[in-house]
Amino acid sequence: MAIKSSTDLIIAPAHALGVISDVDYALRTRVVRIKLPADAAANTATEHLLFLSEVPIVINSCNIVPQLGSTLDASNYAVLSLQTGSAAAGALAPALGARTTQTVSLVANTATAVASGLNAAVAANQRVVLNVTKGGTGVAVNILLVEVTYQLA
């Protein structure tokens, strides 16, 4: 689509999504990309803060792209879960989605869904985190690019 006016700048994302008339969807949809560091050790569990929802949002999906791959191992593995919780430190809500290296390898430079097809409402002032837990003696999780797609509620 050739952009000729400021209105076209608003409509262009809807065209790219194939929904020409849904300008509202294009204006409300956001994508956050965060690069996370590698684990310090194979048995280190970590809660990575991705962002804080300042307004109510609806999370649609979460993908990860590892810089280096990791092989599956039924005994020693990592579980990466997308979770939410109050802005203050405390317990997290049940996972919106998860990916484990117990049953699936992570392939270098290849997007892997942690959660997809979601319609998960998140209230204002909630933290959105990628929680990495370990099973057995664990496995080191390499540098990750995390991509969360959400809409303003």
Residue 97, helix vs strand vs coil: strand
pLDDT in tens, 84-135: 998 877 789 999 999 999 888 889 888 889 988 899 999 999 999 999 999 9
Q: How confident is the model at residue 21 (pLDDT cuts 50, 70, 90)?
A: low
For 126-151, what is the mean pLDDT?
92
Q: Which pLDDT score is estimated for 11?
A: 62
- Distance in angstroms (rounded) separating the CA atoms of residues 113 and 119: 15
pLDDT value of position 42: 83
Radius of gyration of the chain measured on its C-alpha atoms: 17
Q: What is the mean pLDDT of the chain?
A: 85
pTM of the model: 0.81
**Which of the four pLDDT bands, split at 50, 70 and 90, describes residue 9?**
low
Cβ burial 60-71 (10 Å sphere, 16+ → b, else e): bbbbbbbeeebe
Token code pair at residue 58: 């609806």
pLDDT at 1 over 60: no
Domain coordinates in residue numbering, the chain: 30-152
Tell me how far apart the 2 most distant CA atoms of the chain are, in Å. 58
- Please identify, in words, the CATH class of the domain defined by 30-152: mainly beta
Amino acid, single-letter form, for residue 60: N
* pLDDT for position 103: 87
